């Protein structure tokens, strides 16, 4: 892999740790995905086979191979989202976040997708992960813009970008084939200029979390 692209990298903030995937993640990745079928399936691209088959340890080998290949070409930055327990001990795999479709030069842009174990949702993990990835994209990777597209019905995922005050930018009818049909998406985007006054998206997130509700 070419580190000039800003990857591989390990990012962290508090207990939240983002790292490249390992071959040894197959079992835990499959277990988390299988457990979260009802939570994840409505929001993901329609699979070409049964959920159990497409999220097996054998399937992970192909997922891992594809992610590594895209990263090697500088087209993606995939991260496993893990939690480090405060008392120490092994990290816990809780989700995935990826910068994909990376285009450099004059466009300097990427799309971001993510998912989290339902048992870890609502704890501020995903906004932290997204803030870490965006700051890394703008700094080490030299990108200028990150876009996140979310189905209007996916309130949990939309809440992540709303917590970070990421700009809602567009509405995309029939944008992606998900859960058996072409689904509309809302487009959110953030550029370097949007967060420069905050000193980065992670600093914005820390400020927003510490500000008492009005």
Could you list the pLDDT tens digit for every one of the 214 residues in the chain?
A: 555 689 999 999 999 999 999 999 999 999 999 999 999 999 998 888 999 999 999 999 999 999 999 999 999 999 999 999 888 788 999 999 999 999 999 999 999 999 999 999 999 999 999 999 999 999 999 999 999 999 999 999 999 999 999 999 999 999 999 988 999 999 999 999 999 999 999 999 999 999 876 5
* pTM (2 d.p.): 0.95
**Going from the N-terminus, what domains does the chain have, and what CATH number goes with each?**
3-210 (3.40.630.30)
**Between 155-163 and 125-138, two packed helices, what is the crossing angle to 10 degrees?**
60
- Report the C-alpha gap between 113 and 123 in whole angstroms: 18
15: exposed, middle or buried (Cβ count in 10 Å: 0-12, 13-18, 19+): middle
């Amino acid at each position: 892999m070419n580190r000039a692209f800003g990857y591989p990298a390990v990012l962290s903030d508090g207990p939240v740790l983002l790292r490249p995937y390992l071959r040894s993640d197959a079992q835990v990745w499959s277990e988390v995905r299988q457990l979260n079928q009802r939570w994840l399936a409505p929001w993901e691209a329609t699979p070409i086979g049964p959920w159990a088959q497409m999220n097996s340890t054998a399937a992970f080998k192909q997922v891992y191979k594809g992610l590594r290949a895209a990263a090697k070409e500088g087209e993606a930055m995939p991260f496993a989202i893990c939690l480090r327990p405060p008392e120490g001990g092994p990290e816990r795999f809780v989700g995935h976040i990826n910068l994909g479709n990376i285009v450099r030069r004059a466009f300097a842009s990427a799309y971001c997708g993510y998912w989290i174990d339902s048992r870890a949702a609502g704890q501020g993990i995903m906004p932290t992960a997204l803030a870490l990835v965006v700051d890394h994209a703008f700094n080490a990777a030299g990108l200028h813009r990150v876009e996140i597209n979310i189905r209007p019905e996916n309130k949990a995922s939309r809440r992540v970008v709303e917590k970070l005050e990421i700009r809602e930018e567009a509405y995309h009818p029939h944008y992606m084939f998900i859960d058996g049909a072409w689904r509309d998406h809302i487009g959110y985007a953030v550029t370097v200029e949007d967060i420069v006054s905050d000193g980065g998206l992670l600093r914005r997130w820390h400020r927003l979390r510490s500000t008492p509700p009005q």
